[in-house]
């Protein structure tokens, strides 16, 4: 791609004053990074409004996001435009968006510490996505694993949106000049492409966007109740974050453990037990893990007993989340208010960055 600096012939966009004090420079790894006017790096991540938030989402994503709240400027968006790339029922979407907001706030995304908003309420996302589509290579999009997989899964609906999905994702991130993107392993390829898009844009139009990086939470591979596949709503192997304990127990009790343990007298290996590896390890304190390990390898406790202890420990984490969600659900106007305030805050930055990008591309009026 040819290199040409943006000209200053057109009418300069009006940028908020604070914008000038922020800075862009390379971090210790050499990636172009953006610091806001308070010297903070911006974080962006997207939340699919899937309807149910399960403990795989909680352990793999939300509990990771929460660790950024104090030291970064955080943006979390419920990405409804992304969700429409698969067939869905329009009448159900408003509740899916609401439920995603409730579950994420309840699970720790404190609206006082981050900006939580709905993607389609900030139309700048789709506008920047168009601009980015002209610096995104067709071949790169065709190589995306998620696109290839989704195309196989929904042969009857391989729409263009599914193909350009990563371009909108890049726009989501870069519209806020976010440099840090906490995601699961499966999204790393998309974040790398977003970085490539930023580089292509900068090379062609001048330095506007940071080279965003994926922040993957360490090795939390949460398998579903089947003990074979990643926990996923479409596979029906999930435990919901907001599920009451009676309902969780109905799923937990029959769930597969180490096959060696046919009876209590048969010793087992915790490393071969999905209940231990995927759930106990993340919900139970060290002394209970020790208890489970000894009881299992020494054939002193039964699997049901072990699962009961797990259920108690899960309830210690999930109980308060469920309670918070119930409170929020009883006050839908408050949730709507959080989303309205979030959209307003997001829009302020989004509009400024979009104006900067348009000016760099020469999409401004000729000075009269």
Binding test (CB under 6 A) with ligand TRP, winner from 181, 193, 222, 252: 181
Q: What share of the chain is helix, strand, coil (3-state, %, to 5)?
A: 55, 10, 35
Binding test (CB under 6 A) with ligand TRP, winner from 44, 98, 215, 283: 44
Nearest distance from C-beta of residue 212 to ligand TRP, angstroms = 8
Nearer to ligand TRP, 190 or 322 (CB): 190
Q: With binding defined as CB under 6 A, does residue 278 bind ligand TRP? A: no
SS3 77: strand
> Taking the alpha carbons of 11, 201, 213, 144 in that order, is the dihedral positive or negative?
positive
Binding test (CB under 6 A) with ligand TRP, winner from 62, 180, 183, 231: 183
First to last CA, the chain: 32
Nearest distance from C-beta of residue 173 to ligand TRP, angstroms = 5
Site residues for ligand TRP, 230-269, by CB under 6 A, read none
Stretch that binds ligand TRP, among 99-107, 165-173, 297-305, 309-317 (CB under 6 A): 165-173
Binding test (CB under 6 A) with ligand TRP, winner from 22, 24, 48, 196: 48
Cross-strand bridge partners of residue 26: 32
> Taking the alpha carbons of 132, 133, 136, 141 in that order, is the dihedral positive or negative?
positive
Nearest distance from C-beta of residue 184 to ligand TRP, angstroms = 7
307 C-beta neighbours (distance < 10 Å), count: 22
Nearest distance from C-beta of residue 263 to ligand TRP, angstroms = 42
Binding test (CB under 6 A) with ligand TRP, winner from 33, 36, 45, 274: 45
Contact 178, 43 (CB under 8 A): yes
Nearer to ligand TRP, 97 or 173 (CB): 173
Q: Read out DSSP for 37-70?
A: TTSPBEEEEEE---S--BHHHIIIIIHHHGGGTT
Contact 223, 231 (CB under 8 A): yes
Q: With binding defined as CB under 6 A, does residue 57 bind ligand TRP? A: no
Catalytically annotated residue among 230, 264, 347, 358: 230
Please give the structure tokens belonging to residue 109.
């995304």
233 counts as catalytic: yes
150 counts as catalytic: yes
- Quick one: DSSP state of residue 270? G
Cross-strand bridge partners of residue 176: none
Taking CB under 6 A as the rule, which mask of x and - marks residues 73-112 in contact with ligand TRP? ------x--x------------------------------
Ramachandran region, residue 179 (left: φ > 0; alpha: ψ -120 to 50; beta: rest): alpha
Stretch that binds ligand TRP, among 42-50, 84-92, 109-117, 196-204 (CB under 6 A): 42-50
Q: With binding defined as CB under 6 A, does residue 169 bind ligand TRP? A: yes
Q: With binding defined as CB under 6 A, does residue 46 bind ligand TRP? A: yes
SS3 35: strand
Radius of gyration of the chain (CA): 23
Nearer to ligand TRP, 178 or 310 (CB): 178
Stretch that binds ligand TRP, among 44-52, 151-159, 219-227, 267-275 (CB under 6 A): 44-52
Q: With binding defined as CB under 6 A, does residue 121 bind ligand TRP? A: no
Question: What's the number of CA atoms in the CB half-sphere (13 Å) around residue 315?
Answer: 13
Cα–Cα distance for residue pair 25/267, rounded to 1 Å: 57
Q: List, by residue number, the catalytic residues.
A: 150, 230, 233
Binding site for ligand TRP (CB under 6 A): 44-46, 48, 79, 82, 169, 172-173, 181, 183, 187
């Amino acid at each position: 791609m040819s290199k040409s600096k943006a000209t200053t012939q057109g009418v300069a966009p009006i940028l908020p004053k604070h914008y000038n004090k922020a800075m862009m420079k390379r971090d210790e790894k050499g990636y172009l990074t953006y610091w806001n006017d308070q010297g903070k790096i911006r974080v962006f991540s997207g939340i699919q409004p899937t309807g149910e938030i399960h403990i795989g989402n909680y352990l793999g994503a939300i509990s990771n996001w929460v660790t950024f709240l104090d030291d970064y400027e955080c943006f979390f968006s419920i990405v409804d435009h992304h969700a429409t790339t698969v067939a869905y029922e329009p009448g159900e979407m408003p509740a899916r968006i609401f439920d995603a907001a409730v579950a994420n706030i309840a699970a720790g995304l404190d609206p006082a510490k981050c900006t939580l908003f709905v993607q389609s309420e900030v139309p700048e996302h789709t506008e920047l996505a168009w601009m980015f589509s002209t610096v995104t290579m067709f071949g790169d999009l065709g190589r995306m694993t998620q696109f290839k997989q989704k195309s196989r899964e929904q042969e009857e609906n391989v729409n263009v949106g599914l193909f350009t999905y990563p371009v909108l994702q890049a726009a989501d991130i870069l519209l806020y000049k976010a440099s840090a993107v906490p995601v699961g392993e499966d999204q790393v390829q998309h974040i790398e492409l977003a970085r490539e898009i930023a580089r292509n844009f900068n090379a062609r139009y001048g330095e506007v966007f940071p080279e965003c990086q994926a922040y993957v939470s360490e090795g939390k591979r949460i398998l579903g109740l089947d003990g074979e596949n990643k926990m996923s709503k479409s596979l029906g192997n999930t435990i919901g974050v907001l599920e009451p304990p009676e309902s969780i127990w109905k799923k937990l009790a029959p769930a597969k453990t180490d096959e060696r343990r046919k009876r209590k007298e048969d010793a087992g290996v915790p490393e071969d037990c999905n209940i231990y590896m995927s759930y106990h390890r993340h919900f139970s304190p060290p002394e209970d893990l020790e208890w489970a390990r000894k009881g299992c390898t020494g054939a002193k406790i039964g699997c049901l007993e072990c699962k009961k202890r797990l259920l108690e420990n899960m309830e210690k984490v999930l109980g308060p989340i469920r309670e918070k969600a119930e409170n929020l659900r009883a006050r839908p106007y408050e949730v709507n208010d959080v989303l309205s305030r979030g959209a307003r805050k997001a829009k302020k930055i989004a509009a400024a960055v979009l104006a900067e990008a348009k000016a760099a591309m020469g999409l401004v009026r000729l000075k009269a």
